[in-house]
Structure 1
C-alpha cells in the first residue's frame, strides 16, 4: 500500500488540531499530535513547520498547536455561496472548452487551489484541490495579484526563489512579475503562456467581492487557435461576471 501524501497528512494534522480545539481540551504538542494521528514524530515536526509557515497552524510558547489565520480565511472562502455555485460553472467551462477550470485563493506567495474541474485527456490533469502553486507563475495566481502595488509585490515576493521555478515563460524577478501584470491589466485578462509548465497555457481573471480580490478563476490547457482563444476568454469572463455578482452580494 502506498504511503499517504504530505497533503493528506497535513490535512490530518490540521483536522486533529481543529477537533482538539472544539473539544476545549488542552491543545496537542508535536508528540501528542503524532500519537493522535499515527504520523511519525519527525514527520509531524516537518509538516507542522510547513503548516506554520503557510499560516494554517500556530504554536504558542508552551509548544502546543492551534489553527492559524490562513485556516480561517480559507474556511471562510469555502463557505461562501459564490464558491458553492462555482462548481457547476467550472464543470461547464471544462466540458465546453476542453480545458481545466479552477478557482484559487491567495496563501502567502502561493495560490491555493479551492476547486477544479478537468475533462479527460488534459495537460493540466495534475491539478487537485488543496495543492499550492507559486502565485507569480500561474495564471490563477497572477490574477490574485491584480490590485497589488509595486511595494506590495516587493513585500510578498522579495524573498522568493525565482530561479528554477516554473516553465520557460515564467518571470524571474519581482520586476518581471510586475511587467506581466501591467500587460495583463491592459488586456483586461491574465494570459500565462507556459509559465508554470511547458505546454500549458492559462487564462485567468480575479474575483472581487466589492471590497477586494478574494479569489481567481482560470482555465488551462494546450495552446489554442486565435478563434478558440477568444471563445475561452469570453466564456471565462461570463462566468467571472456571475461569480463576482454573487460574491458582491455576500454578507
Structure 2
C-alpha cells in the first residue's frame, strides 16, 4: 500500500494509501493532537509534529511551531526517510530487528541527515534498542545541525500507529528536559484515544 502507484502504462496515480492517510486526519486522536501540539509549541521554542509511516518513509500529518523554533521548510504531507529523524525512528518502535533490517535494506544512507545521522540499517536498530530502554527517543543532531528531537510512539495495542516528535535547539537544555516528559505523555494520551472503539451515532 503506497501513496503513489504506477499503472501498466507507466503513469503514476494516487494510491489507496493516500486516501487512507487523508481519512486518518479526521480521526478523533489526530484532532485531539492539535491541542497538545499547540500547547507544547506555545510553551517551548519547539516545533512539534505528528508523523505516520508509509513503508520506509515518514509522512508529516500535523505540526505546530513555537516562536523561534527550528522548523526549516516544514509542510503538511512532507516525506522524510523513516530512519533519518527521531520521529521516524519512533514509528519503528514495535518492529523486530529483522523486520527493520529488511525494510531499510534498499535505503541510501549517503548525503541525508545531520552530523550524527545513522549510517546503516543496523545502526538504526542499535539506536532504537537503546531508545526503548528510556521510553523515548532523543536524537541529537541526527537530522539537522544544532537541533535535538525528542520523540515517542503513539501505541495502540503495542503497534506504533504514529509518532509525536518535538524539535528544539540543542543548546536549550531546559526545553530538552521538559520535552523528555511531555512528548511521551502526549503520545500516550493520543494512543489511549486512538485505541478507543468508535461508538456509532444513534
- TM-score, reference length from structure 2: 0.90
User: Residue 126 of structure 1: SS of its match in structure 2?
Assistant: coil
Q: Pick from 162, 166, 169 the counterpart of residue 222 of structure 1.
A: 169
CA distance in structure 1 between the aligned counterparts of 2:6 and 2:111, rounded to whole angstroms = 32
User: Residue 124 of structure 1: SS of its match in structure 2?
Assistant: coil
Give the Å deviation of 1:150: 1.5
Aligned to 2:92: 145
Q: Pick from 175, 179, 192 the counterpart of residue 245 of structure 1.
A: 192
Larger Rg: 1
Structure 2 gaps, min length 5 = none
- More helix per residue: 1 or 2? 1
| Structure 2 residue 120 is matched with structure 1 residue 173 | yes
Q: Pick from 38, 48, 62 the counterpart of residue 101 of structure 1.
A: 48
CA distance in structure 2 between the aligned counterparts of 1:238 and 1:58, rounded to whole angstroms = 37
CA distance in structure 1 between the aligned counterparts of 2:91 and 2:134, rounded to whole angstroms = 16
| Structure 2 residue 150 is matched with structure 1 residue 203 | yes
| Structure 2 residue 21 is matched with structure 1 residue 74 | yes
Aligned to 1:114: 61
CA distance in structure 1 between the aligned counterparts of 2:65 and 2:55, rounded to whole angstroms = 26
Q: Pick from 214, 232, 242 the counterpart of residue 179 of structure 2.
A: 232
Are the equivalent residues in 2 in contact too, given 1:205–1:218 (CA < 8 A)? yes
Are the equivalent residues in 2 in contact too, given 1:118–1:125 (CA < 8 A)? no
- More strand per residue: 1 or 2? 2
CA distance in structure 1 between the aligned counterparts of 2:84 and 2:58, rounded to whole angstroms = 10
User: Residue 114 of structure 1: SS of its match in structure 2?
Assistant: strand
Give deviations 1:184-207, integer Å, cap 9, x for gaps.
001110110111111110000000
CA distance in structure 2 between the aligned counterparts of 1:224 and 1:241, rounded to whole angstroms = 27
CA distance in structure 1 between the aligned counterparts of 2:46 and 2:92, rounded to whole angstroms = 23
User: Residue 176 of structure 1: SS of its match in structure 2?
Assistant: helix
Aligned to 1:159: 106
Are the equivalent residues in 2 in contact too, given 1:102–1:114 (CA < 8 A)? yes
CA distance in structure 2 between the aligned counterparts of 1:142 and 1:250, rounded to whole angstroms = 27
| Higher RCO, Cα 8 Å, sep 6+ | 2
Structure 1 gaps, min length 5 = 1-53
Structure 1 window deviating more from structure 2 (109-118 vs 230-239): it is 230-239
Give deviations 1:109-154, integer Å, cap 9, x for gaps.
1110000001122222432211111110201100000011121112
CA distance in structure 2 between the aligned counterparts of 1:90 and 1:201, rounded to whole angstroms = 17
| Structure 2 residue 138 is matched with structure 1 residue 191 | yes
Are the equivalent residues in 2 in contact too, given 1:106–1:135 (CA < 8 A)? yes
